């Protein structure tokens, strides 16, 4: 049987974990105030028989509580910082006011230890989104500062269960404690930090109980720093109904696998067609050695219905502004650096440095030949409000980059010259090594918006820039 890295790393044993159905949540009514406290906590991350793990979590949970509202509603989130370092919260994928975006030094001052900050959020889109720290992201996200934000459709599709699975990995030592190696030069110059312990909703999950002919809406969120997931549902045929929170025509995934790079999300429709008592694996094959993430375990109970549901729901559109490709401004954006890359040098703090000197400064990546920093980034491009832009994205490095644009969604047009089916709306697109990808969007949200690789070790060492929309 294929093994989860959680069980073949420091543990060297089988761990029993509860069947996590969903993350504990909170329902936010219009203008209700939700309080999130960033603090340290000890949790049973690995499970029975092993030491508990110190994490940093919102309300001491990992992941943080689900914040759930209905499209068109407003929520006020009061964030309290009980850590010993500054923090913020970024509302990933939400097209909200720039001053609420949660980027220190760009849209707000970081929340100092012992202080609060109030975010007021009115999401225009229904969908699956998430929230996470945007300060010292490698460590703060890596220690657990993230959670799901679900914006429900006014008339959601009918399913038997609507579930959130936050996928994450952790680099743990033999005492089940998080290894303090964030922003290690090896990880920063390669593919980011890859952990040895994979969790679903903050626990190692062996079995997930389902019933025959049950229909699930499964919301997958990749909260890992560097790990890419490529999930195969053995003997099942999940259908994709949304990507990055935005509806897509209902379709089967390419190669029957769900690919999620860091920060990406997918909403699946999963019809459970097995018989009572059967077990089926969900396998992750993103890396050389596939492993079993968990098993779908069919309960020995009466089926939910006599036969599988037939009707396929289509999610309502979120009414994004359609790019006008006939009037588009075309911009080139290249990503370079890292080990085995082709970067000779780049501009850093106003002067050109060769790659050896950049590495000595702890900087390993550049966008259009410029090294970005966490604060004080000079805009790469100034975009005119209401104009359509086509970004020609080129990955000149030997490593993948999930590239995220704040405050907007873009249409994925083509990959390596080939048109992309359905032209999905995304806020994060995976650039494989040497990829060339074209995306288009309308610059319809004024402000300074970050554009960066969502592997935080890459972002911290130079792969970040800003678009200014005026």
Task: Please say if the pLDDT value at position 134 is more than 90.
Answer: yes
Instruction: Tell me the C-alpha distance between 245 and 426, whole Å.
Output: 8
- Stretch 367-377: mean pLDDT, rounded? 85
pLDDT recorded at residue 10: 38
Strands (E) in 235-387, as ranges, are 239-243, 246-251, 258-260, 265-272, 279-284, 291-298, 329-337, 345-348, 351-354, 365-367, 381-383
Contacts of 375 (CB under 8 A, 6+ apart): 104, 105, 106
**In the chain, how many domains are there?**
3
145 and 10 housed in the same domain: yes
Residue 167 tokens read as 């996928």
Q: With respect to residue 375, please indicate whether it lies within any of the assigned structural domains.
A: yes
Instruction: Tell me the C-alpha distance between 468 and 328, whole Å.
Output: 17
458 and 386 housed in the same domain: yes
22 and 57 housed in the same domain: yes
> The domain that contains 88 carries what CATH number?
2.60.40.420
150 and 193 housed in the same domain: no
111 and 10 housed in the same domain: yes
Q: With respect to residue 356, please indicate whether it lies within any of the assigned structural domains.
A: yes
pLDDT recorded at residue 32: 81
Task: Place 229 in a pLDDT band, splitting at 50, 70 and 90.
Answer: very high
Q: Of 155, 176, 207, which residue constitutes the final position of a domain?
A: 155
174 and 82 housed in the same domain: no
Q: Of 155, 172, 196, which residue constitutes the final position of a domain?
A: 155
User: Alpha-carbon Rg of the chain, whole angstroms?
Assistant: 21
- Stretch 185-213: mean pLDDT, rounded? 96
43 and 172 housed in the same domain: no
199 and 329 housed in the same domain: no
Q: With respect to residue 311, please indicate whether it lies within any of the assigned structural domains.
A: no
Task: Please say if the pLDDT value at position 5 is more than 90.
Answer: no
Model pTM score: 0.94
144 and 216 housed in the same domain: no
Instruction: Tell me the C-alpha distance between 277 and 255, whole Å.
Output: 28
Q: Of 155, 172, 206, which residue constitutes the final position of a domain?
A: 155
Instruction: Tell me the C-alpha distance between 173 and 264, whole Å.
Output: 27
- Measuring CA to CA, which residue among 77, 19, 69 is closest to residue 203? 19
Q: With respect to residue 314, please indicate whether it lies within any of the assigned structural domains.
A: no
- Domain ranges, residue 87: 5-155
């Amino acid at each position: 049987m294929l093994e989860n890295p959680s069980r073949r790393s420091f543990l060297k044993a089988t761990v029993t974990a509860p069947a996590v159905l969903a993350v504990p949540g909170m329902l936010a009514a219009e203008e209700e105030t939700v309080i999130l406290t960033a603090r340290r906590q000890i949790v049973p991350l690995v499970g029975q028989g092993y030491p508990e793990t110190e994490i940093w979590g919102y309300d001491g949970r990992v992941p943080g509580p689900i914040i759930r509202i209905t499209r068109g509603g407003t929520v006020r989130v009061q964030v309290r910082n009980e850590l010993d370092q500054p923090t913020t919260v970024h509302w990933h994928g939400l097209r909200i006011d720039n001053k609420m975006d949660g980027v220190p030094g760009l849209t707000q001052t970081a929340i100092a230890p012992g202080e609060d900050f109030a975010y007021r959020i009115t999401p225009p889109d229904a969908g699956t989104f998430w929230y996470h720290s945007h300060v010292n992201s490698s460590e703060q996200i890596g220690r657990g500062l993230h959670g799901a934000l679900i914006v429900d459709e006014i008339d959601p599709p009918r399913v038997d269960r609507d579930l959130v699975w936050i996928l994450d990995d952790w680099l743990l030592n033999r005492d089940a404690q998080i290894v303090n190696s964030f922003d290690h030069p090896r990880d920063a110059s390669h593919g980011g930090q890859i952990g040895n312990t994979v969790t679903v909703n903050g626990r190692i999950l062996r079995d997930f109980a389902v019933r025959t002919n049950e229909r699930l809406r499964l919301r997958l969120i990749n909260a890992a720093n560097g790990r890419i997931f490529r999930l195969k549902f053995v003997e099942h045929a999940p259908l994709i109904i949304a990507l990055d929170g935005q509806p897509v025509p209902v379709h089967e995934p390419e190669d029957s696998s769900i690919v999620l790079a860091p920060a990406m999300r997918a909403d699946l429709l999963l019809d459970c067609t097995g018989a009572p008592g059967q077990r089926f694996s969900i396998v992750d094959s993103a890396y050389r050695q596939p492993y079993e993430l968990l098993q779908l375990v069919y309960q020995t109970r009466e089926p939910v219905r006599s036969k599988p549901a037939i009707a396929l729901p289509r999610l309502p559109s979120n009414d994004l502004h359609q790019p006008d490709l006939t009037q588009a401004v075309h911009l080139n954006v290249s990503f370079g650096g890292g080990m085995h890359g082709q970067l000779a040098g780049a501009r850093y703090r106003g002067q050109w440095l060769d790659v050896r000197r950049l590495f000595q400064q702890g900087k390993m990546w550049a966008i259009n030949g410029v090294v970005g920093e966490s604060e004080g980034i000079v805009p790469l491009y100034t975009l005119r409000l209401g104009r359509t832009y086509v970004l020609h994205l080129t990955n000149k490095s030997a490593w993948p980059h999930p590239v995220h644009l704040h405050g907007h969604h873009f249409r994925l047009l083509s990959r390596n010259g080939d048109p992309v089916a359905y032209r999905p709306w995304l806020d994060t697109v995976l650039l494989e090594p040497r990829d060339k990808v074209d995306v288009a969007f309308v610059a319809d949200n004024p402000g300074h918006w970050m554009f960066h690789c969502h592997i935080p070790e890459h972002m911290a060492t130079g792969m970040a820039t800003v678009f200014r929309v005026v």
